[in-house]
Amino acid sequence: MRIVSKLTFFGMIFLFSVNAYAGQLDSSGLLDTLLDKFQQVASTWSLVIGDYANWLFWGLVLISMVWTFGMLAMQGEGLTSALAEIVRFFAVIGFFYYLLINGPAISQSIINSMRQLAANALGTSTGISPSSIVDIAFVILTKVSSAASIWSPMISTIMITVAIIVLVVMALIAINMLVMLVSAWVLCYAGVILLGFGGSKWTSDIAINYLRTVLSIGIQLFTMTLIIG
């Protein structure tokens, strides 16, 4: 009996505290601001890393060119076969060089397109962001605390406790999305070095896997947005 009385007493205190401070809790744009600042910093990486990626790319192109044309010379194949191989070689090199110089833009387009596609499916003009997830949880907590009554402390305490649990869960989801978006920006700007491996037929799979990884993250964000929405 004394335990129940203590729980009721602490529940009333907790109820007053939430009612007093729920309106002051505001996470609006906090996580999005952090994400934007990180993206601004990460965008500067591509300039330096892009230079190294270019050196890597053309170094591998030179090695691959010497090997390919050397094999053509030793095999002594006809002019038609040699021209076909040369055209194929430069077509592949041109494709991977296009990916190299446009890697960050292509990666961002893939990720943003998947997020926007999910937003369109939900009927919203903008996608769900980490801050919007936390804001939803705070709205729920504020409404529950407003609906709570001092005349039913046990029920009110249970309601607010559940709302706080929802807030914690939503915060974890928001952090998960934040980490995923940070990983996406790191991959977009720092991962451009992997596209440098497209200069050789022996290492071009690394560049292809880079794009596959970007698409995988985009699909994960797409799925998460739909589930949360």
**Of 140, 148, 165, residue with least CA distance to 13:** 148
Can you give the residue ranges of every domain in the chain? Answer: 2-228
Reported as a single tens digit per residue, the pLDDT across 71-88 is 877 776 667 777 888 888
Residue 98 pLDDT class (50, 70, 90 cuts): very high
DSSP, collapsed to helix, strand or coil, labels residue 146 as: helix
- Residue 176 corresponds to which tokens in the numbers above? 């998960």
pLDDT of 50 above 80: yes
Instruction: Measure Cα distances from 112 to 34, 57, 70, 133, 221 in Å.
Output: 18, 27, 44, 18, 9
8 A C-beta contact, residue 194 and residue 206: yes
Residue 125 pLDDT class (50, 70, 90 cuts): low
What pLDDT, on a 0 to 100 scale, did the predictor assign at position 77? 66
pLDDT of 187 above 60: yes
3-class SS string, 80-104: HHHHHHHHHHHHHHHHHHHHHHCHH
Percent of the chain with pLDDT over 90: 17
Residue 112 pLDDT class (50, 70, 90 cuts): confident
8 A C-beta contact, residue 156 and residue 149: yes
Residue 1 pLDDT class (50, 70, 90 cuts): very low
8 A C-beta contact, residue 57 and residue 195: yes
From the centroid of its chain, how far is CA 70? 44
- CA 100 – CA 120 distance, rounded (Å): 30
- CA 142 – CA 159 distance, rounded (Å): 11
Q: Confirm whether pTM is higher than 0.85.
A: no
Which residue's structure tokens are 């990666």?
107
